[in-house]
Structure 1
Amino acid sequence: MTKQLFGSIEAGGTKFVVAVGDSELNIIEKAQFPTTAPAETLAKCVDFFTAHPVSALGIGSFGPIDIDKKSATYGQVLATPKPGWAGADVVGTLKAALNVPIAFTTDVNASAYGEYIGGSGKDVDSLVYFTIGTGIGGGAIQDGKFIGGTGHAEMGHALCVPRPDDDYQGTCPFHGRHCFEGMAAGPSLEGRTGIPGQDLPRDNKAFEFISDYIAQMLFNTYVNLRPAKIILGGSVLSDAELPMVRDYFEKYNNGYVATPDLTELIVTSKMPNNSSATVGDFALAKQVLG
C-alpha cells in the first residue's frame, strides 16, 4: 500500500512556505520562496509538489480570500492590496495542475488548527488563535470545526477603544485608530516611535499600549466565545508582555465572568520552528481525504 503524504502551503504576502508531511504530521520536505506574481509563485508550488507528490493539500492563505465552497469565486484571493493578487485563483490553478483534494482556509485558521492538533490547544475542545505581526488575524475552533459564516473572521478589525494617553492615529487605512490591527499590529511600533519593532526595547511605552489593546481584544473574544484557550502567535508580543496583557484583561473583566487561571487561559504558541500553520495544513489535508 502506498504511503500517504500530505502537502502544506503557507501562502504569505511576503513568502510562500511549502512542505510535505507524513501520516503523523511530521515535516519531511520543506522549501520557501518569495511571493512574486501569482503565475510565477503558484508555478513554483506546482514544481515542488510535482517533485514531491502528495495525496492531498492544505493551504492557509493571506487574504482576504473566498472560503465559501458555494461561491463562484471560491478558492480565489479577493480585493487584496497585494499587487497582482486580487482575483488570483489559487485553488483552481493548483487543483488543475496537481489533481489532488485541497483544503483552503486562511493563514490564521491553519495556525489555529495546528495549535488544536498538536500545540498549546491540543488538550482542549475550543480555542481562539491570534497572530499579531504585520497585521492581526484570529481564528476560532469549537470541537474541531472553524467558527464562521459567510466568510472568514476579521477579528483584527474589530473596534477598539483608544487610550486617552495614546495620540497615535493608527495604521489601518479603513479604521485608523479604531481597530486592533491599526493600533497594535507590528507597524504601529515603528509608527509611534520611529524605531522598527525588532529594535525597540521591551520596556518602551509602546508595548504597554499594545498590551492594553491586545487585552481588550482578548476580553471581547472571551465574553463572545468563552474559549478554553486563547493562543497568541506572531512576532510582536513576547512572553515578557504576557503578564501585562493578563493584568489588563483582568481589569476589563472586573470580576464579571468566571475565568480559568489566566496563565492557563492566555498563552503563547510553543510549536517548534513556527510550525503551527504547516501542521494545521497537513491535518486539514488529511481531513479532506476522509
Structure 2
Amino acid sequence: MSKPLLAGIEAGGTKFVCAVGYSPVDILKEIRFPTTTPEETMTRAYDFFKECQEEYGPIASLGIGSFGPVDLDRRSKTYGYITSTPKVRWAGTDIVGFFKSRMDVPIGFDTDTGAAALGEGRYGAGRGCDTFLYLTIGTGVGGGVVVDNKALHGLVHPEVGHIRLVPREDDTFQGTCPFHGTCLEGMAAGPAIQERWGKPGIELPEDHPAWDLEAYYLAQGLAAMVLTLSPQRIIMGGGVMHQPQIFPALRRYLKEFLNGYVDRPEITEEREDYIVFPERENQAGITGALLLAQDQLGAVQ
C-alpha cells in the first residue's frame, strides 16, 4: 500500500513555499515564488498542486503555515482567515477556505512560525525538548511556541514580535512597527536596521555597532519570554540572524537582563546550546506545513 501524498504551504509575507511529499522530510517536488496579491498567489499554489496530482496521484491532506495574524479558533466564523495583517490586500483573506473549496482534503492550519517551530521540534534544533521557542528575525519578528510538543494557541496565538521594549538610553529611534512603535519587531527587524543605519544589515560590517544594539533588543525581548514561557531552548532564525557575532552578545545580554533570577546554567554560563540557530534553516517552515498535513491523517512519523 502506497503512502498518502502530503501537500504543504509555507505562506510567508515575502514568499510562498509549496511542496508535496510522502513525509515532511521526503519531499518530491517544491516551488518558491513571491507573495503578491491573494488571488494571484493562492491560485499559483493551487495550480502547482494540480500539476503534482497529475504527476504523483491524489493529495491526501494539506498543511498551511501562514503569516498573520490568523484566526486559529475552529469555532470562529473567521477560522482560517488572515486577519489584521499590515500587509496590503491580505487582511481578511480566507486562505483555508480558498484551498478547501478547490481541493476538498483535510487541512491543518497554523502560523508560519508555529509550523516552523513544529518542524524544528520534530526534525531540527528542538529535538529533545518538549517546550521551546522558535523566533525568526527578518522583515518582521515572528515566533512559534511549542509546549508539550504542540504549538501553543490561546485567545489567538503568540505574537512575541510585538512585546514592547524599553529603548536603550543612547538610542532615540522610534521604531518601525505601525501598531506599537518600539516593540521587538519595530526595533530589531530588518527594516528597523535599514531605517536606523541607512543601509540593510547585509551591507554592515561585523564590527558595526548595529549588531551590539540588535543583541541588546533581542535579549530584552527574550528575557520576557524566558520569564513567561520558560523555554528549554530558544531557536533564532531568519535573515538577520545570519550574523554569528550576534549570538555571544545575545547570551551575555540575556544573562544581564535576568540578573541571576533564573538560576540555570543555560543562562548563567551563557551556554551555546541554549540560544541556537535552526538546523532546518529555510526548510523549517515547509517541513512544519507537511507535518500539519500529516497530523490531519493521524499518521505518526
The two structures have a TM-score, normalised by structure 1, of: 0.95
Q: 1:231 aligns with which of 232, 235, 258?
A: 235
Tell me the residue number matched to 1:289. 297
- 1:131 pairs with 2:120: no
CA contact (8 A) 1:59 1:104 kept: yes
Q: 1:264 aligns with which of 273, 284, 288?
A: 273
Specify whether residues 195 and 24 from structure 1 end up closer, same or farther in structure 2 by C-alpha distance, changes over 3 A only.
closer
Tell me the residue number matched to 1:37. 37
CA contact (8 A) 1:128 1:229 kept: yes
Deviation for aligned residue 1:286: 0.5
Unaligned runs of 5+ in 2: 54-58
Count of residues in correspondence between the two structures: 288
CA contact (8 A) 1:20 1:28 kept: yes
Supply the AA of the counterpart residue of 1:43. Answer: T
- 1:10 is paired with a residue whose SS is strand
Supply the AA of the counterpart residue of 1:124. Answer: C
Tell me the residue number matched to 2:254. 249
Q: Distance in 1 between matches of 2:86 and 2:258?
A: 36
Q: Distance in 1 between matches of 2:189 and 2:7?
A: 30
Unaligned runs of 5+ in 1: none
Deviation for aligned residue 1:147: 1.8
Q: Distance in 1 between matches of 2:252 and 2:109?
A: 37
Q: Distance in 2 between matches of 1:63 and 1:119?
A: 23
Supply the AA of the counterpart residue of 2:204. Answer: L
CA contact (8 A) 2:211 2:245 kept: no
Q: 1:210 aligns with which of 211, 214, 236?
A: 214
CA contact (8 A) 2:24 2:288 kept: no
Deviation for aligned residue 1:245: 0.2
Deviation for aligned residue 1:24: 5.7
Supply the AA of the counterpart residue of 1:226. Answer: S
Supply the AA of the counterpart residue of 2:272. Answer: T
Supply the AA of the counterpart residue of 1:210. Answer: E
Deviation for aligned residue 1:20: 1.0
RMSD between aligned residues: 1.3
Q: Distance in 1 between matches of 2:98 and 2:147?
A: 31
Q: Distance in 2 between matches of 1:241 and 1:76?
A: 35
- 2:292 is paired with a residue whose SS is helix
Deviation for aligned residue 1:132: 0.5
CA contact (8 A) 2:214 2:246 kept: no
Please show how residues 1-290 of structure 1 align to structure 2 within 5 Å: 1-23=1-23, 25-53=25-53, 54-177=59-182, 179-237=183-241, 238-261=243-266, 262-271=271-280, 274-290=282-298
Deviation for aligned residue 1:280: 0.8
The two structures have a TM-score, normalised by structure 2, of: 0.92
Deviation for aligned residue 1:194: 0.5
**For each residue in 1:51-89, what CA deviation from the matched residue of structure 2 results, as whole angstroms up to 9, or x when unmatched?**
223211111111121111111011111122322222211
